[in-house]
Amino acid sequence: MQEIPIRRAAAGMKLAKPALNDRGVLLFATGAELTEDNIARLSKAGVKRVTVEGHPVDTDAQEKDLGQEIAELHARFRSVEKDALMRKIRGFFAERLNERAKEA
């Protein structure tokens, strides 16, 4: 099974764990097959992540993307890396890239 962000969910995937809203109310039971409609319903209910059967999303590729994105970020800041303020700003953008990777 694999826990994935809701935006990576796709029709045809099957829930390996029940999908609950933030108050713990059951929205879809284990074994429910995701459809475009119920993905939209989950998203609307504020569900951020679901656990599905198998390993349908390639998270390794995501990790590589993050490493590459961080390297590119550093390359863009190469001419100002001695400046303390610019290093700090680069840090904020690196944080954002990490957040995005976690969301993914």
Partner 1 sequence: MTVEKEDFRKRVEALINVPTLQGMLEKIKPLMESPNAGVEDIANIISADQVLSAKILKVVNSVSYGFFGRISSLRHALVILGFDAIKGLILSTSVFDAMLAAGFYGLWKHSMGCAITAGVIARKIREPNPEEVSIAALLHDIGKVIIKTELPAESTSLDQAVIEKQISTYEAERQILGFDHATVGEWLCQVWNLPDKLADPITYHHQPDLSCFAQRPTAIVHVANVFVRAIGFGFGGDNLVPRISPAAWEMLDMSDSLVREIIGEMDGELEDAEDFLTANDTEI
Question: What residues make contact with partner 1 under the rule CB under 8 A?
Answer: 72-73, 75-80, 83, 85-86, 89-90, 92-93, 95-96, 99-100
3-class DSSP assignment, residue 88: helix
Give the span between the Cα atoms of 91 and 94, in whole angstroms. 5
Cα gap 66→26, rounded to integer Å:
34
CB 63 within 8 A of CB 101: yes
With respect to partner 1, which residue has the nearer C-beta, 33 or 83? 83
Helix (H, G, I), strand (E, B) or coil at 38: helix
Q: How far is the CB of 31 from partner 1 (least distance, A)?
A: 33
Query: CB of residue 85 vs partner 1: minimum separation in angstroms?
Result: 6
**Shortest CB 46 distance to partner 1, Å:** 17
Nearer to partner 1, 29 or 80 (CB): 80
Give the residue with the Cβ less far from partner 1, 8 or 28. Answer: 8
